[in-house]
Structure formats: structure tokens, C-alpha cells
Amino acid sequence: MDPLIFSLSAAGIAVLHTALGPDHYLPFAALGAARRWTIARTLTITAICGVGHVCASLVLAALALGAGSVAMRVTGITSVRGDIAAWLMIAFGVAYAIYGLKFIVRERHVHSHAHAHADGTEHEHGHHHHASHVHPHVSIEKTAARKQSVVAVGWALFIIFLFGPCEPLIPLVMAPASQGAWVTVLMVVSVFAIATIGTMLAIVWALASGLARTPALRAGAYVHSAAGATVAACGAAMLLGL
């Protein structure tokens, strides 16, 4: 049993599995753009979720190394995990899209008005028809709220990816493990994890970089609802096996 062949197979399968599954990268790029995360923050959250995604599947792969009946149960568990992850992604996407509606409604009730100063400079402030006449300023409370929202969204994605199965990993591990080739098992697991997370990061980086160069796509009031719809669509694609 050649460890190199198994490792190359693991790398190729991991890259294809990740690239062909938009649920591995679109949610991060869409939510990162909507919430105006830096590319570094988006990639950090992607990496953490990728590690959880792979590690959870490793636990199942370890269980699958038992008797055949256990392996069959693990196959069933993997299928159930996939459905749970898909429904969680749909639910989160729909909830986030609904949350985004408030920005669309708010924009319809806002207009800008100009102020001239003694030195001749001018600037504009947003004004809400149903609020007191105050000028917006970033406060400590708002900064704290933004940090909390990053944590909340990050945790939501992490939990979803814990349930998301890495189906190809289990047979890749079981084949060499059944013959006691533990060095090969270690190589396969390492290569598969690096290739999976690396592919996620590469695609998310490309998408996030592209969106960062198109501010108009990030600035619209609809961007949150669009991000939620994207996440929900990824979940639906998972259910359909796409």
C-alpha cells in the first residue's frame, strides 16, 4: 500500500469535494461582504469552521474503524448529519435574510441633508423621518455590538460546519486502516485536512478580494438579505445533493 498514492488521492478528492460544494465558501464570502469584515477576519472564521468540519468527520472516521455494522451505522449518521447541516444552513440563511429587511426598510425612511460651515465646507448627514434629529456617531456600545455580532455569526457557521460531513474522508481513512497502515492513515488525514481547508481559504480569499473591489455590492441596503438568501440557497443545494 503506497502512502504517496493514497496521499495524492486524498489531496485531489479533497480539492474537488470542496470546490464543487459552494456551501464550503459562499456563506463566508457573502456574510463577510455584508458585514464588511476585513479579508483577514473572513479567512480566520473560514479556517476555524474548516477545522471543525474536518475534525468532526475524523471522529466519525474513527468510529468507522470498528466492526462492519458500526461502519454501516456511521454511514447513516453521516447522512443524517448532512441533512441537519443543510436545514441549519437554510434556517440561518432565512433568518439572516429577514434580519436584512430592516436595512431596506430603514433606507426608505432616510434622506440626506447638507450643512454649510463658516469656512465654506459642506457635509451631509442622514436623517430618519421617525427619529429625533441627531447625527450618527460611532459609539462604544455600537462597537461592542459589532464585535458580539461577529462572534454570533461565527459561532452559527461553526456549529453548521460541525454537522456538515466530509463524506470522502471516511473511506479514504478506512482503506489503509483496515490493513494496519497507520502511517498512511496519518498522511491521508493530514493531506486531506490541509487540502480541504486550503481550498476553502483560497476560494473565499478570491471571492472576498473581488467583492472588496466592488464597493457598490457591499454598500447597498439589500446586501444583508442577499447574503442570507445565498446561505439558504447553499443549504437547499446540500439537500438536493448538488
Q: Which residue has the cell 478528492?
A: 13
Residue 71 has which C-alpha cell? 461502519
Q: Is the pLDDT reported for residue 134 higher than 50? A: no
Q: For residue 154, is it within any domain?
A: no
**175 belongs to a structural domain:** yes
Q: pLDDT per residue over 40-74, tens digit each?
A: 999 999 999 999 999 988 887 777 666 554 555 55
Region of 120 please: left (phi>0), alpha (psi -120 to 50) or beta: left
Q: For residue 123, give the nearest of 138, 132, 135 by alpha carbon.
A: 135
Instruction: Kindly report the backbone phi and psi dihedral angles of residue 177, in degrees, each rounded to the nearest multiple of 5, phi listed first.
Output: -65, -35
Domain membership flag for residue 121: no
Q: Which residues pair with 237 in a beta bridge?
A: none
- Give a yes or no: residue 139 inside a domain: no
Q: What does the block give as the cell for 24?
A: 464550503
In a domain, 132, yes or no: no
pLDDT band at 164; cut points 50, 70, 90: confident
pLDDT tens column, 84-104: 999 999 999 999 999 988 887
Inside any domain, residue 209:
yes
| 125-129, 204-208, 212-216: the lowest-pLDDT one | 125-129
Range of the domain at 89: 3-111+161-239
The confidence score (pLDDT) of residue 112 equals: 47
pLDDT score at 216: 67
Q: What burial class does residue 234 get, using C-beta atoms within 10 Å of its C-beta: 0-12 exposed, 13-18 middle, 19+ buried?
A: buried
DSSP state of 128: E
| Structural domain count, the chain | 1
Q: Flag whether 119 is in a domain.
A: no
**pLDDT tens column, 192-202:** 999 999 999 99
Whether 212 is in a domain gets the answer yes
- The full DSSP string for 93-113 is HHHHHHHHHHHHHHHHTEEEE
